[in-house]
Amino acid sequence: MAEKPADWAAAACLENFRQYRDLTTQEVERVRRNLNGLSDDDKASLVRKPEEQLKAMEEAVAATLSMIEKLEEVVKKEAETAERGRNAGAPVGTKPVQTLLHTFVREWSAEGAQERQSCFDRVLGALDKHLDKAGRVLIPACSLGRLALEVAGRGHSVETCEGRLLHWFGLELLRQTSSVEAFKPQPFALNTCNRLKFVDNHRVTPVPEIAIKEGQLPRARFGEFTVLYGKSKAKESFDCLLTAYALDLSPNVFRFVRTAAHILRPGGVWANFGPLAYDTDHDEAIGHGLELSWEEIKFALSHFFDIQEEEWIDALHAQNAQSLMQMQYTCIFFKATRNSAPVPMGPMATSD
């Protein structure tokens, strides 16, 4: 049972970071060419001189790369042979790094508080109504662990898992961080379009905005929820399941629902918040991607759960709050109680 990524996966992360560093160099040079190519009359119309703008962008990039270097140290520490396997076959690119940086802002900065509130208020509210004393809570696809921290702060025993490589290593970085505002990235430096003010893309977003005490963040198990918890020994072992932007990350939503029913005790509660975007690449070795409608998912749920609450909410996720262009999701929140219907095990659960 995998508890952390394999060395080849860590090597893919290092390649992601290399490509992101190359992208920042290319973007700074592009802006340099564009500004220096202006006529003297055009330069006179700028709020700030080209050299001042370039300096601000270079400093913003450097601040973010400083945090990336800390992430690289964590990756190398977790997988000492990662460098030897750098071409081992995982897809790489710059988008995962940019998404990770934006997720740090969402989960661990003061700026991200408003964005995460609509989600956290509902899932934590469902938890509070269900458990009036300490219980066992599972959070699959836990991202960077902020929801887990909030749950642990209520006195519950929390278990998490995360199958996205960079998110897993990002959570490890936070677990090793205790001081407030330990990192001061400027993650929107490359976002030169859709700005209201010319300094918007250079703003600092310190993370974390609160102190993380030792042991507050559990070490997430690395892997996909249905693979890790579709085991006989996980049967009826949790009181509550919280999924935030997690349900449609599964390669097989039907299996996700059955696994949720498998791990919850009768009377246990599943609280979910998120869209049905299905925007993750799936590995067909562990299942086929299914883009299901809410009607289909709700029918699958009805076999094992009684849905008590259902609501659609417009929400943002890991967006640049000061950009003039946003991607808004319509998310489904539901609260469902586990009934007593048996879960067909089939090949889903093993005794491991």
Question: What pLDDT score does 130 carry?
Answer: 96
pLDDT at 229 over 50: yes
Q: What pTM was computed for the model? A: 0.92
Residue 50 one-letter amino acid: P
Gap between the Cα atoms of 346 and 350, Å rounded: 9
Q: Measured between alpha carbons, how far is 283 from 285 in angstroms, rounded to an integer?
A: 5
pLDDT of res. 208:
98
- 212 pLDDT exceeds 50? yes
- As a whole number, mean pLDDT of residues 256-269 equals 98
Taking residues 291-295, report their average pLDDT.
Answer: 95
Give 185-219 as a DSSP string. --TTTT--SSBSSTTGGG----B-SS---TTSSPP
Using a pLDDT cut of 90, give the percent of the chain over it.
82
pLDDT of residue 10: 85
Q: Which phi and psi (to 5°) does residue 185 adopt?
A: -70, 160
Quickly state the pLDDT bin for 289 (edges 50, 70, 90).
low
> Given this model, what pLDDT does residue 6 score?
78
* Residue 346 banded pLDDT, cuts 50, 70, 90: low
Chain segment 122-162, per-residue pLDDT in tens:
999 999 999 999 999 999 999 999 999 999 999 999 999 99
User: Are 312 and 272 contacting, i.e. CB atoms less than 8 angstroms apart?
Assistant: no
pLDDT at residue 114, as a whole number: 96
Q: Give the residue, 284 or 196, on which the prediction is more confident.
A: 196
Which range, 1-10, 84-93, 231-240, is most confident?
231-240
pLDDT: is 214 or 131 the higher one? 131
**Span 207-213, average pLDDT:** 95
> Average of pLDDT values for 53-75?
97
Model confidence at 91, pLDDT cuts 50, 70, 90, reads low
Contacts of 243 (CB under 8 A, 6+ apart): 123, 139, 140, 141, 260, 270, 271, 272, 273, 274
Lowest mean pLDDT among 18-32, 172-186, 268-282: 268-282
Decide if pLDDT at 100 tops 70: yes
Q: Specify the amino acid at residue 43.
A: K
Q: Are 187 and 103 in contact (CB under 8 A)?
A: no
What confidence tier does 87 reach under pLDDT thresholds 50, 70, 90? very low
- Is the per-residue pLDDT at 83 higher than 80? no
What amino acid occupies position 185? P
List pLDDT tens digits, range 136-146. 999 999 999 99
pLDDT of residue 2: 47
pLDDT computed for residue 263 by the predictor: 98
Complete domains list, the chain, with CATH: 93-338 (3.40.50.150)
Length of the chain: 352
Look at residue 82 and tell me whether its pLDDT is greater than 60: no
pLDDT at 272 over 50: yes
Strands, E assignment, 103-237:
136-139, 157-162, 221-222
Q: What is the mean pLDDT of residues 155-174?
A: 95
Per-residue tokens: 24:
């920042």
295 falls in which pLDDT band (50, 70, 90)?
Answer: very high
Q: Give the list of residues 6+ apart from residue 121 with CB closer than 8 angstroms, or none.
A: none
pLDDT at 282 over 80: no
pLDDT of residue 225: 96
Contacts of 170 (CB under 8 A, 6+ apart): 71, 100, 103, 104, 144
